[in-house]
Structure 1
Amino acid sequence: MNIKTITAIAALPFIAACAQSPSSIAPVSMGNAYANVSCQQARADLIAERQTLAALEGKQKGAVAGDAIGVLLIGVPMSSLTGGDVSGHIAASKGRVIALEARLSSCGGA
């Protein structure tokens, strides 16, 4: 093996630990979690959850950039290692948005 191959293999655990792009994070299914919520409450919750999701996506983009810089400079995805990766929160928030949108689709004139 040459040095490039060894370096690439050694870097795999660090690259795998890097934060995911927000768009590549799959939502967590919430099922019928909002089935008993009123249409008015579902609308308010959806607005709030979309704001939460936007904030989380902004934080995640920062973690992605931080990891890229960390891996480039020192070989370590710093944001992921220091808690900057919020992919689990994004997955849950995306799931809540989908569930709330599904609830509103049954309200008529959502």
Structure 2
Amino acid sequence: MRKQLTTLGFVATLTACASSPEHIQPTYVADTAYASQSCSELGQSEVRETDMLTALSDKQHRAHKTDTWGVIALGVPLSELSGSDVSRTLALEKGKMDAIHRVEAEKSCPGAPAPKS
């Protein structure tokens, strides 16, 4: 019984860990936020969002890695204590990028990614 409780506690602690950046789903952002932009402006927005996504993904990856080691060593997900989990911000930025891509595709901008099915 004690072993089962310990295992259950360990699993519960692992689920409290910061998510890996690849597993964070985008938050929906309406296309209207970018609909008034020209293809050139959309390209500039995409560059800014790419930089932001890269920085946030790196930070989230570190939080995930720290949590994994924190749980193994101390039994505690450390990102909760340090505030380094940026999953909500990362999800929003992913949503912005999706909205930019949808608007670029609608406007047939050069280099626009193919719409997701």
TM-score where L is the length of structure 2: 0.86
**Unaligned ranges ≥5, structure 1:** none
Letter of the 1:6 counterpart: L
Alpha-carbon distance between aligned partners in 2 of 1:7 and 1:18, rounded to the nearest angstrom: 17
Shift of 1:30: 0.7
Counterpart in 2 of 1:50?
50
Deviation readout 1:32-77 (Å, 9 max, x if unpaired): 1211122211110101101110110001110011001110111000
- Per the alignment, in what secondary structure is the counterpart of residue 110 of structure 2? coil
Paired residue total? 109
Q: CA RMSD in A?
A: 1.3
Shift of 1:13: 3.4
**Unaligned ranges ≥5, structure 2:** 112-117
Counterpart in 1 of 2:5?
6
Structure 1 residue ranges (4+ consecutive) displaced by more than 6 angstroms after TM superposition: none
Percent identity at matched positions?
A: 35
Counterpart in 1 of 2:94?
94
Q: Bigger CA drift: 8-17 or 67-76? A: 8-17
Q: 2:39·2:109 contact (CA, 8 Å) conserved in 1? A: no
Q: 1:63·1:80 contact (CA, 8 Å) conserved in 2? A: no
